[in-house]
């Protein structure tokens, strides 16, 4: 009964990674077999196959449920993962505002992330219908990231598109795409909580 989004357009900022030399493999979940545990296990099972194929730096990047799966995988099998980009991570049903315990789910999810790696970036939008409390999620992310040694970043744009699918818009790619590329690509990436733009490269 879930919509089948296989074949939908990839968000534009992903092309910036591809243009910079990163190979992009798309993990499309079958809507008839799209349970959180099943899909996360499939994603984790693919990581050693990428290693066997010769890939040294693996980035998991996802939108909504895909972002949630990526963070779950980083908590359970962090070894092969260089970085995670979690865009509007959600798994709270058709409307996040109606889901009890959404913040507890978030706390458990980020609490399971290892202290020493991988790099972690999250994009949280201020008017996301699947996020009942963006400010509270940011506060919990910041507190958890202070306990980690690996680079971490949170983007919460103060202006521009702000709904659940905002990262699919060209204006997001133009404003923030290079920041995400720098986060996975540079030895000293941008970190912290950014709302008004990415700092210049050092």
Strands of 119-123's sheet in order across:
58-63, 81-87, 119-123, 152-155, 192-194
User: What confidence category does residue 22 fall into, taking pLDDT thresholds of 50, 70 and 90?
Assistant: very high
User: What confidence category does residue 95 fall into, taking pLDDT thresholds of 50, 70 and 90?
Assistant: very low
Residue whose entry in the numeric block shows the structure tokens 């959180």: 36
**Residue 99, pLDDT score:** 56
Residues 6+ apart with CB under 8 A from 60: 43, 69, 70, 73, 74, 81, 83, 84, 85
Name the average pLDDT for the chain: 90
């Amino acid at each position: 009964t879930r919509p089948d989004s296989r074949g939908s357009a990839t968000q534009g900022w992903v092309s910036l990674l591809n243009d910079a030399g990163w190979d992009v493999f798309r993990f499309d979940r079958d809507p008839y077999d799209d349970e959180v545990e099943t899909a996360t296990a499939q994603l984790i099972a693919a990581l050693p196959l990428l290693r066997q194929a010769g890939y040294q730096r693996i980035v998991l990047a996802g939108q909504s449920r895909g972002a949630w799966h990526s963070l779950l995988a980083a908590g359970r099998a962090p070894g092969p993962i260089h970085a995670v980009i979690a865009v509007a991570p959600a798994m709270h049903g058709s409307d996040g505002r109606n889901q009890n315990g959404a913040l507890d789910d978030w706390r458990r999810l980020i609490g399971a992330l290892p202290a020493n790696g991988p790099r972690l970036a999250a994009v949280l939008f201020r008017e996301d219908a699947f996020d009942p409390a963006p400010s509270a999620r940011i506060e919990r992310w910041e507190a958890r990231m202070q306990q980690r040694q690996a680079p971490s970043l949170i983007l919460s744009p103060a202006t521009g598109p702000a709904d659940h699918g905002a990262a699919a818009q060209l204006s997001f790619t133009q404003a923030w795409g290079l920041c995400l590329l720098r986060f996975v690509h540079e030895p000293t990436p941008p970190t912290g909580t950014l709302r008004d733009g990415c700092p210049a490269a050092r």
